[in-house]
Amino acid sequence: MSLKSIAVMTSGGDSPGMNAAARAVVRTALFEGVKVWGINNGYHGLLDEDMFEMQSKNVSDIIQRGGTFLGTARCKRWETPEGRRLGYENLKKRGIEGLVVIGGDGSLRGASLLSKETGMPIVGLPGTIDNDVWGSDYTIGCDTAANTIIDAINKLRDTASAHRRVIVLEVMGHHSGWLAMVSGISGGAEYILVPEEPYDLDAICNDMSEAYKKGKRYIMVVVAEGAGSGQEIGKYIAEKTQLDTRVSVLGHIQRGGSPSVIDRVRASQLGEKAALAIISGLSDIVFGFSKGRVVSIDLHDAVNNKKKLDPEYMHLAKVLF
Ligand code: F6P
C-alpha cells in the first residue's frame, strides 16, 4: 500500500528541532510525489479544521529556528473519543490517509488512541526536551535544552565562586531527571536531584557544611522540577547550613533557542524515516534512536511504558561528586 496524501503536526511542549523534523517530513513526502498537509496548533488544528496543503517553500528558513512553525498545544478536547472521531473525519474529508505526530508521551498517547479507535495510520516522532519517551535514547530537542542549561551552569559557577555561595538551579523535568542529570554531570554539579531517586536533604546539608569547613569555595545543586521546588530546597539549605545560598529557576528559556547540530541532524533523519514509513502504509510506530542508530518502536509500547533514568548516570554522578 502506498499513501497519496499525508499530514504532519507538532503537539505538546515545543522543542528545538521540531521544525527540522517537520521540514524533513514535508520534503521527503514531496520528493516521493505525495501530498503533505500541515496541521496548525496540534490537535486543536485537527478539530478546528486548521490545516493547509504544503509546498517545499512552506518549510524554507525554519531548520535553524526553535519552537515550531506549525504551532503546538495541549488539547483537552482530544482526550474524548468524540473529539478524536471529529479529528478523524476532518482528515478523511481532505483525503488525508496517514498522520505523522511529533510530540512527547502525552501527544503520542493521543495519536495511539486515534489509530486504535479509527484505524487512521499513525507514525510518531519523539519531540520533547525531557528525553522521556520509552524505547528511544533520544528525543528531539533534548540536546539543545541540555546545552542551554550548561550555559547557565557555567555562568552561575562564575558568580557562585566569586561569592563562595551555594547555588540551586531548578531545571525542567516533572517526571524525568534526564535533563538535570546530563547537565549536572557535564556542568560539574556537586548534587543532582531527580524525581527518579529519593534524596536526603539533611545529609546533603551536613556534607555541604563539612565541605565548606575544609575550604570548598562554592557548591552547585541542580534540581529537576519534579524532585522538588528549587526555591524551597534553597531556603532549606540556607536555614540549615547558614551558607550564603541563591536559587535560579531556568524556566522556559530551556525550551527555546536555535537547535544544536545534533538536534537538527537527528530530527531530519527521523522526519525522513517517518515520512517514508507512513507513505509505505506502516502504522503504530515511533522512530527514535538507540545506540546512535534510528530504530522503530511499537507506538503502544512507547506510550504504555515508563522510561527509566540510566542507572549508570546516577552512579557516575556519585563517583564524580
Ligand atoms: O514536556 C516538556 C516540559 O518542558 C516539561 O519538562 C515541563 O514540566 C513542561 O513541559 C512545562 O510545559 P508547559 O509550560 O508548556 O505546560
**Average confidence (pLDDT) over 183-197:** 97
**Where are the strands (E) in the chain, listed by range?**
5-10, 35-39, 51-53, 98-103, 122-126, 166-171, 191-193, 219-224, 245-249, 285-290, 293-298
**200 Cα: distance to centroid of ligand 1 (angstroms):** 26
Q: Whose CA is nearest to atom 13 of ligand 1?
A: 13
Bridge partners (DSSP) of residue 192 are: 222
Question: 38 pLDDT band (50/70/90 cuts)?
Answer: very high
Mean pLDDT of the chain, nearest integer: 97
Cell 493547509 found at: 52
- Is residue 115 predicted with pLDDT exceeding 90? yes
Predicted local distance difference test score (pLDDT) of residue 1: 72
Is the CB–ligand 1 distance for residue 255 below 6 Å? yes
**Average confidence (pLDDT) over 157-171:** 97
Amino acid identity for residue 90 in this structure: N
The count of other CB atoms within 10 Å of the CB of residue 60 is 9
Torsion of CA 110, 84, 20, 59, to 10 degrees: -170
**Average confidence (pLDDT) over 50-65:** 98
pTM for the predicted model, two decimal places = 0.97
Q: Dig out the grid coordinates for 56 from the structure.
A: 517545499
CB 39 within 8 A of CB 80: no
For 220, half-sphere exposure in the C-beta direction (CA atoms, 13 angstrom radius) is 26
Q: Which residues are catalytic?
A: 130
Predicted local distance difference test score (pLDDT) of residue 57: 98
**Average confidence (pLDDT) over 86-96:** 98
**Cβ density class 116-155: b for 16+ within 10 Å, e for less:** eebebbbbbbbbbbbbbbbbbbbbbbbbbbbbbbbebbee
Q: Whose CA is nearest to atom 3 of ligand 1?
A: 13
